[in-house]
């Protein structure tokens, strides 16, 4: 197949491009590099099936040749990024989604939307299944991302009902792994960067809030399964193993061998207290479930961060990265 991936130079998008090329697909990556990095896909440029086109999917762009699938990942995805670029985030979920749906419809291609667990907001139902409609503050600081994705889902379903579009919706929960930006503000990358630099790990609140962390290889496997499936969803894609933020911090300290202290910070506005996906629908409909335990995924991620000399400060007394016995 030939697959168009918007946001293909981002953390998740670059792994998806790589997986698609590995299985023999051709890939057209679209990105304006506002939060993605060209270095994430530089190693793919030498492959004959890969093309990277710098463009903004919220404006006019052109994709020539055949298109079998369109995967829409383009959007600032971390709180730091989407709060820095609120209008661009809203545009990616609205105009960007519409432009890519039009591309899919013109080519008779399947369209897969990378939505998010943020459509559930600060959930009052726990754990969250796909029938839960969410608890979102539409005017809060997180709303530019939450509501952009909710609108994108609504628009995707409108195209299915009105235009007969072949669509699929994936609701992605917290994902981590190599190629995360050290400065993206996400909790995994922040803790690893701070631990490797010998800095205090900044824990919001008392650290009792929970998240469910899915390793990037598992998440990409879920997306490729959705590309190949005729099913619409939405499907929760995430790891149902729920951990507190404090547990995550302690695990990062153990894996890095760091003796950094924990430093409390106030909770951000509208920060979800609990987050855990029900993945029964994805398991039964797609045959998908995560395989990589958090401990193993964190070791791989720490090893990658530690090998990036231009990403992390390395004071002389920084502990050597090691594995617990």
**CB-CB contact of 180 with 301 (8 Å):** yes
- H or E segment at 221? helix 216-228
CA distance 177 to 14: 12
Q: Which residues of 254-285 are buried (b: 16+ CB within 10 A; e: fewer)?
A: ebbbbebebeeeeeeebebebbbbbbebbeee
Give the β-pairing of 110-116 and 214-215: unpaired
Q: H/E element holding 30?
A: strand 26-31
d(CA 177, CA 13): 12
Cβ partners under 8 Å of residue 184, min gap 6: 11, 35, 78, 80, 81
Pairing of strands 210-212, 242-244: antiparallel
How far, in Å, CA of 304 to CA of 223, rounded?
Answer: 23
Catalytic residue among 82, 120, 132, 145: 145
Told to judge if 215 belongs to the known catalytic residues of this protein, a careful annotator would answer no
User: Would you say 176 and 188 are in contact if contact means Cβ atoms under 8 Å apart?
Assistant: yes
CA distance linking residue 321 with residue 324, whole number of Å: 10
- Alpha-carbon 256 to chain mean position: 24
Task: Compute, in degrees rounded to 10, the torsion defined by CA atoms 20, 23, 28, 29.
Answer: 30
C-alpha to C-alpha distance for 302 and 189, rounded to whole angstroms: 9
Annotated catalytic residues are 145
């Amino acid at each position: 197949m030939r697959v168009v991936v918007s946001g293909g130079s981002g953390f998740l998008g670059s792994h998806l491009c790589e997986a698609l090329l590995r299985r023999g697909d051709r890939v057209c990556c679209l990105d304006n590099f506002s939060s993605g990095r060209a270095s994430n896909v530089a190693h793919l440029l030498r492959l004959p099936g890969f093309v990277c086109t710098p463009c903004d999917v919220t404006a006019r762009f052109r994709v020539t040749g055949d298109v079998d699938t369109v995967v829409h990942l383009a959007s600032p995805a971390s709180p730091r990024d989407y709060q820095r670029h609120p209008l661009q985030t809203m545009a990616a979920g609205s105009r960007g989604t519409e432009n890519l749906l039009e591309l899919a419809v013109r080519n008779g291609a399947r369209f897969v939307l990378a939505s998010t667990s943020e459509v559930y907001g600060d959930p009052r139902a726990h754990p969250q299944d796909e029938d839960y409609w969410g608890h979102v503050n539409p005017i809060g600081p997180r709303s530019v991302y939450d509501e952009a994705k909710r609108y994108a889902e609504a628009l995707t379903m409108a195209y299915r009902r009105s235009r007969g579009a072949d669509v699929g919706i994936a609701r992605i929960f917290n994902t981590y792994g190599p190629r995360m930006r050290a400065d993206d503000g996400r909790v995994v990358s922040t803790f690893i960067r701070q631990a490797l630099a010998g800095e205090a790990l900044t824990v919001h609140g008392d650290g009792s809030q929970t998240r469910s962390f899915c390793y990037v290889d598992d998440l990409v496997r879920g997306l490729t399964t959705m590309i190949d499936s005729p099913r619409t969803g939405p499907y929760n894609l995430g790891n149902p193993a729920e951990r507190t933020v404090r547990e995550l911090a302690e695990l990062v300290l153990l894996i890095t061998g760091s003796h950094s202290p924990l430093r409390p910070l106030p909770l951000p506005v509208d920060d979800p207290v609990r987050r855990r996906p029900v993945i029964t629908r994805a398991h039964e409909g797609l045959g998908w479930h995560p395989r990589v335990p958090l401990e193993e995924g964190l070791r791989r991620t720490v090893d990658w961060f530690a090998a990036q000399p231009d990403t992390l400060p390395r004071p002389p007394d920084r502990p050597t990265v090691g594995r617990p016995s």
